[in-house]
Structure 1
């Protein structure tokens, strides 16, 4: 995939302007999902974090805006997006180690490291399960080429003992996620994300721990918007969600 020209890009503000993100005008454009994923990770200063499929670097940058002193690395299959992630790191003053690679062929500089946290926002749709996007970058970002099990296996290999995987996915992919964790990761928690009260969750965040032994936990859904329906051209995020999206606050997991 060739790189993006200046005319191909927009510069978008995230976290109330804390992050300026260059991303393609057409193709895969980051939304709120990577922001919510980054907010869910309890990283601490001095820890190492790896993102699988980092795109233009939004998730890593959101995490860096909330937690200082962490070491950040990302793996991205599409070279044009990997280049954008590197550029976005420089533009935002955040040190990112970004490698262009497939999950099945990680380079030595990543395979020789282990991390306290791995985060991932894999393609949401099984291959052939959705209408293919006309843009190749968007099609790759949305349509699964590598099975979820392979994402989870790669994450488990890169985690330190007691390290955590956090993954955001469509709710209907939970069986695949649980199957991928089987024999690799434990202490699984699932946090559903529902648009409004009374709506079924569309997305979930899965947390799993290497060598974890705690029982499975399915938490009550996090509700994103106020009200029961969308009636005006406004987002109506609940205050705690607005704090995440606009100020970089953490997404607190239930105790």
Structure 2
């Protein structure tokens, strides 16, 4: 990992190698940096060539760049309210050779999808801020506030995702496991055919995260899929399944 500076965003950044070196990502040296959640979200988007994907709250582009590496031929759009992060996402698109089919728009999820004046997408994905209430966190660093705190609540994010996809379009998000009931209730106003994949830190531990797939106007029964276990007791950093996903050698199917 090397330290560099980006003139576009006027930030000190670090260079991270993702997917076994297939993706190079510049992220802020201080404050929030995307990691495991972004990798899992990107691995759970089986878009096909020619399809369109929008990410709400794309940050520096960790999810967009990994989707592009995994799914060549997909057209990508990112929405990000922080101008510096949006600038980094554009830089990262160019850095990874995907600028010709990646667009990053500076804007706020709270303004709604109609504010973008774009046709609905085939896929809408998000890693929404995990907390609605500032009291739920202990004084996060200022650089992490925007990534951790949902100023307008989870409802604003689910409304955006529901409007952002065409009929029968797919919505994928990753969030805290203890918000699963809220996610299903909010997305259930316009989507169904849910599939849920728990993400467990260890096999014997409760899930801390969930990946949720929903289909707009879908009517199929809910499916609870096998959990992904991130760590085993062998001493390795990740379980073999998680390591294969992080290296881009495996995906998370539905």
TM-score in same-fold range (> 0.5): yes
| SS, match of residue 247 in structure 1 | coil
CA–CA separation in structure 1 for the residues paired with 2:130 and 2:174: 9
- What is the root-mean-square deviation in Å for CA atoms of aligned residues? 1.9
Distance 1:112 1:91 in 2: 26
* Structure 1 unaligned blocks of 5 or more: none
- TM-score, structure 1 normalization: 0.90
2:248 pairs with 1:243: no
Partners in 2 of 1:220 and 1:46 — Cα distance? 30
SS at match of 1:42: coil
Hey, what's the Cα distance between the residues in 2 that align with 1:181 and 1:138?
A: 26
**Which of 124, 127, 138 lines up with 1:131 in the alignment?**
138
The partner residue of 1:52 within 51, 56, 66 is 56
Partner in structure 2 of residue 115 of structure 1? 121
Residue of structure 2 aligned with 1:213, choices 210, 219, 226: 219
CA distance in 2 between counterparts of 1:141 and 1:209 reads: 26
Instruction: Measure, in 1, the Cα distance between the counterparts of 2:83 and 2:112.
Output: 14
Give the C-alpha shift of residue 5 in structure 1: 3.0
Correspondences of 1:1-255 after superposition (within 5 Å): 4-5=9-10, 8-95=12-99, 96-105=102-111, 110-128=116-134, 129-135=136-142, 137-227=143-233, 234-235=236-237, 237-253=238-254
1:92 positional shift: 0.7
CA distance in 1 between counterparts of 2:98 and 2:250 reads: 18
CA distance in 2, matches of 1:157, 1:58: 23
TM-score by length of 2: 0.91
| SS at structure 2 position matched to 1:119 | strand
Go from structure 1 to structure 2 and tell me whether the alpha carbon gap of 1:82 and 1:216 turns closer, same or farther (over 3 Å shift). same
Give the superposition deviation at 1:241: 1.7
**Residue 113 of structure 2 contacts residue 164 of structure 2 at CA under 8 Å; is this kept in 1?**
no
Structure 2: stretches of 5+ with no match in the other structure: 1-6
SS of match in other structure, 1:220: coil
What is the number of residues matched between the two proteins?
245
